[in-house]
Each structure stands twice: as structure tokens, then as C-alpha cells.
């Protein structure tokens, strides 16, 4: 069998698997090509791709039932029931560990970040998970559908992830909020986001990203066309309960070493945030 045919076999097998079939085909294909180069047979190549996807997608962090939650949101929006909409968004955020941990600090989190960056008109949420469902706690002056026609400066919320049902669900939610469907299935390690924005969020993913894609973190941050980068880290390890604050502070400064980017640090219960201003250097290339 040719290499290309082997890659096809691996892609088809992984795409059909219950656990990893939700991953973007482009990501699976890239990993399959690499695995086929390393393994003579397709069976170990499939196993290798599944192992990489396990680390990249972290399915153990949890997912809501997307179909059921979309139906609940439809009913709540149709009834203009704000309390129910908020409760469903919170249920979805609760279903994934990263956002579950952020729930108790969520409103304060965005208020303090945007007090530094200014209230953004445009956001990139990179490796977003379910975080776009926190939109109602970002203080971005969402307007109701009746006001939509009159609204000029709608927030542009770009969200990127490789998990297909998650992105479809986020676009469904954006549509119900009257926002443009700017969530994208995009592998940001292979394909850096090109959109310009006021603020780019890269929350609780950098250590895993560096581990999975060895050294792509710094070029990604350099490529992002955002005035402010908001990069966060968990302060406590998921498994051992170790305090990671000092380790991640050092890691962050190494990552952006040599750049003349002012940094503000915010420490929340459970999350360490760095707000990096790229303005000085990138104003040369002229982003939004
Ligand atoms: C730990 S979750 C973080 C969720 C979110 N940023 C938060 O803090 O709430 C990591 C997310 O990154 C996504 N991801 C991992 N690698 C990616 C890549 N190369 N491109 C796009 N998304 C990626 C995963 O699918 C997952 O949804």
C-alpha cells in the first residue's frame, strides 16, 4: 500500500471512532501522515494518532450533550427567558473542567481583565473549549434581538477549536444571541488565526500546547494580530494538587523573552493570568 493510501486508512478509522471522531479532519490527517511515516503498519499508526488526540483534545475534561443543550437553548431563547438562558450556559460551562473551575470567578475574571485591556469590540478565543458560553459574563453589552437592527458595533467573537460538535454548538449559541457565527474548526498549531482583534484569549492551554506541538507557542503568540494577549494557567495541577504559580510564571516569561511587550499579572483563585500588550511592536504591521 502507498503512504497516501495508508494515511487514508488511518484517517477513516480515527474519524469513525466514538472518542476521537469529533476531531477536525485536517488535524487527524496531519497526525496520520506523521504516524504513517513512523510505523510500518496501519494498526500501530491508528493507535499513535489516537494517543496524540487524547493529549491534544483532552476528552477527559468533559463535554455537555450538545444536541440536548442546543434544544434547551432554543426553547429558552424562544421564550425570552433570560434566567433559563443563563442557567443553561452555566450548565454547559460546568460540563468542561476548564470552565467549571472558572465559574466561581467568571464575572470578576473578565471585569478585571477588560479593566486593563479596555472593553473589546473584537475577541479571538483560541483553543476555546466551551469558554464562548461565558459571553454573558463578559460585560460586552449584549443586546436583545429587537435591538439588533439598531446596533452598529456588534462584538466580533472569533472562537477556534478542533472539536467539531463543540464549534457547531457555539455557532448555534451565537446565532441565538444574534451574533455572527464566527466559531471555526481550525487547528491553530497548523494554521495560526489571521483575524485582527482587540484581545486574544488563550486560556489554560499553553502548557499542553507546548507539550503537544513542541515550541509552537511562541510563534503562535507572535503571529496573533491582537493588541492584547490574555494567556492563563491553572494555579493547581489537575491531579496532584501541586501549586504551579511559580513554575508557570517562569514558563510565561521564557515564552516571550526578548520581546518588548509590557505584561500585567492577575492572580485569581485557581487561575494565573498574564495580559501582554503587543501594541508597541505590532503597530508597525498595523492590526485593528
Ligand atoms: C483545556 S481546554 C481549554 C478551554 C478554554 N480555553 C478554557 O480555558 O476554558 C483545551 C481546548 O483546546 C482545544 N485544542 C487543543 N489543541 C488545539 C489546536 N491545535 N487547535 C485548536 N484547538 C485546540 C481542545 O480541543 C480543547 O477544547
DSSP string, the chain: --HHHHHHHHHHHHHT-TTTTTB-HHHHHHHHHHHHHH-SSHHHHHHHHHHHHHHHH-GGG----HHHHHHHHHHHHHTT-HHHHHHHHHHHHHTSHHHHHHGGGHHHHHHHHHHHH---SEEEEET-TTGGGGGGGTT-----HHHHTT--S--EEEEEESBHHHHHHHHHHHHHHT----EEE--TTTS----EEEEEEE-S-HHHHHHHHSS-HHHHHHH-EEEEEEEEEESB-TTT--B-HHHHHHHHHHHTTT----EEEEEETTEEEEEEE-HHHHTTT---
Assigned fold of 3-57: Helicase, Ruva Protein; domain 3 (1.10.8)
Which protein residue has the closest C-alpha to ligand 1 atom 23? 127
Ligand 1 mean position, distance from CA 267 (Å)? 21
Rounded Cα gap, residues 276 and 200, in angstroms = 10
Q: Is ligand 1 within 6 A of the CB of residue 183?
A: no
Domains 3-57 and 98-282 share a fold: no
pLDDT for the residue 141: 60
Q: Is ligand 1 within 6 A of the CB of residue 57?
A: yes
48 close to 38: Cβ distance less than 8 angstroms:
yes
Which protein residue has the closest C-alpha to ligand 1 atom 3? 129
Q: Is ligand 1 within 6 A of the CB of residue 30?
A: no
288 close to 266: Cβ distance less than 8 angstroms:
no
pLDDT for the residue 239: 73
Ligand 1 atom at minimum distance from 232 CA: 8
* Axis-axis angle for helices 245-255, 206-213 (nearest 10): 60
Please tell me the pTM assigned to this model. 0.93
Which protein residue has the closest C-alpha to ligand 1 atom 1? 205
Rounded Cα gap, residues 54 and 19, in angstroms = 9
Q: Which residues contact 70 (CB under 8 A, 6 or more apart)?
A: 169, 172, 173
pLDDT in tens, the chain (288 residues): 578 899 999 999 999 999 899 999 999 999 999 999 999 899 999 999 999 999 999 998 999 999 999 999 999 999 999 999 999 999 999 999 999 999 999 999 999 999 999 999 999 999 999 999 999 999 986 654 445 444 445 789 999 999 999 999 999 999 999 999 999 999 999 999 999 999 999 999 999 999 999 899 999 999 999 999 999 999 988 776 788 899 999 999 999 999 999 999 999 999 999 999 997 555 444 454
Q: Is ligand 1 within 6 A of the CB of residue 220?
A: no
234 close to 270: Cβ distance less than 8 angstroms:
yes
Q: Residue ranges of the domains in the chain? A: 3-57, 98-282
Ligand 1 mean position, distance from CA 22 (Å)? 13
Alpha carbon 31 to its chain's center: 20
Ligand 1 atom at minimum distance from 130 CA: 9
Q: Is ligand 1 within 6 A of the CB of residue 58?
A: yes
Instruction: Give the mutation target among 54, 61, 205, 207 for probing the ligand 1 site: most ligand atoms within 8 A of CB.
Output: 205
Identify the CATH number of the domain defined by range 98-282: 3.40.50.150
Instruction: Look at the chain and count its residues.
Output: 288
Ligand 1 mean position, distance from CA 244 (Å)? 20
Ligand 1 atom at minimum distance from 163 CA: 25
Ligand 1 atom at minimum distance from 102 CA: 9
CA-nearest of 156, 96, 151 to 128 is 96
Amino acid at each position: 500500500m502507498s503512504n497516501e493510501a495508508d494515511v487514508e486508512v488511518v484517517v477513516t478509522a480515527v474519524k469513525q471512532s466514538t472518542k476521537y471522531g469529533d476531531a477536525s479532519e485536517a488535524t487527524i490527517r496531519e497526525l496520520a501522515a506523521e504516524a504513517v511515516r513512523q510505523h510500518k503498519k496501519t494498526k500501530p499508526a491508528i493507535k499513535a494518532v489516537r494517543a496524540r488526540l487524547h493529549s491534544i483534545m483532552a476528552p477527559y475534561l468533559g463535554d455537555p450533550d450538545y444536541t440536548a443543550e442546543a434544544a434547551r437553548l432554543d426553547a429558552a431563547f424562544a421564550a425570552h427567558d433570560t434566567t433559563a438562558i443563563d442557567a443553561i450556559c452555566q450548565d454547559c460551562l460546568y460540563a468542561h473542567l476548564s470552565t467549571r473551575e472558572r465559574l466561581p470567578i467568571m464575572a470578576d475574571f473578565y471585569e478585571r481583565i477588560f479593566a486593563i485591556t479596555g472593553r473589546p469590540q473584537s475577541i479571538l478565543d483560541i483553543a476555546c473549549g466551551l469558554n464562548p458560553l461565558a459571553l454573558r459574563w463578559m460585560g460586552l453589552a449584549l443586546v436583545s434581538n429587537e435591538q439588533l437592527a439598531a446596533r452598529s458595533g456588534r462584538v466580533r467573537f472569533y472562537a477556534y477549536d478542533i472539536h467539531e460538535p463543540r464549534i457547531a454548538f457555539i455557532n448555534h449559541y451565537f446565532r441565538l444571541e444574534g451574533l455572527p457565527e464566527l466559531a471555526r474548526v481550525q487547528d491553530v498549531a497548523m494554521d495560526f488565526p489571521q483575524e485582527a482583534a482587540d484581545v486574544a484569549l488563550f486560556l489554560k492551554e499553553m502548557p499542553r500546547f507546548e507539550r503537544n506541538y513542541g515550541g509552537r507557542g511562541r510563534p503562535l503568540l507572535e503571529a496573533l494580530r491582537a493588541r492584547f494577549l490574555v494567556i492563563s494557567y491553572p494555579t493547581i495541577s489537575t491531579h496532584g494538587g501541586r501549586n504551579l504559580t511559580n513554575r508557570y510564571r517562569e514558563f510565561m516569561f521564557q515564552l516571550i523573552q526578548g520581546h518588548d511587550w509590557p505584561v500585567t499579572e492577575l492572580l485569581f483563585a485557581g487561575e494565573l493570568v498574564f495580559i501582554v500588550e503587543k501594541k508597541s511592536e505590532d503597530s508597525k504591521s498595523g492590526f485593528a
